[in-house]
Amino acid sequence: MTRPCVDQPCDRDNKGRIRCSFHRSRHTRGQPAHGPTRRRPHKLESWDVEKRTGTCRVCGPVHIVGNFSKVNPGYKCGRSVVNGTLISKYKITIEQYEEILAKQNGVCRLCHQEETRVDNRYGAQARLAVDHDHSCCPGETSCGNCVRGLLCHSCNTGIGKLGDDPARLRAAADYLEEFRE
Check which CATH number belongs to the domain holding 128 and give it. 3.40.1800.10
86 and 101 in a single domain? The answer is: no
Q: CA torsion angle for 136, 139, 144, 147 (degrees, to 10)?
A: 80
Segments forming the whole domain that contains residue 61? 41-90
142 and 116 in a single domain? The answer is: yes
146 and 179 in a single domain? The answer is: yes
Write out the H or E segment, with its range, that includes residue 131: strand 129-132
Q: What does the alpha-carbon distance between residue 174 and residue 148 come to, in Å, rounded to a whole number?
A: 24
Q: Is residue 7 part of a domain?
A: no
98 and 86 in a single domain? The answer is: no
97 and 176 in a single domain? The answer is: yes
List the pLDDT tens digit at each of the 181 positions of the chain.
566 677 667 777 667 677 777 777 777 766 676 665 555 567 777 777 777 778 887 778 877 776 655 554 567 777 777 777 888 888 888 889 899 999 999 999 999 999 888 877 666 678 898 998 888 888 888 888 888 999 999 999 999 898 888 999 899 989 989 988 6
62 and 98 in a single domain? The answer is: no
Confidence (pLDDT) at 152: 92
Helix extents (H) in the chain: 21-28, 78-90, 94-103, 153-161, 166-180
Q: Which of 94, 88, 3, 77 is nearest to 40 (CA)?
A: 77
pTM here? Answer: 0.65
151 and 98 in a single domain? The answer is: yes
Q: Which of 105, 104, 58 is nearest to 78 (CA)?
A: 58
Confidence (pLDDT) at 25: 74
139 and 84 in a single domain? The answer is: no
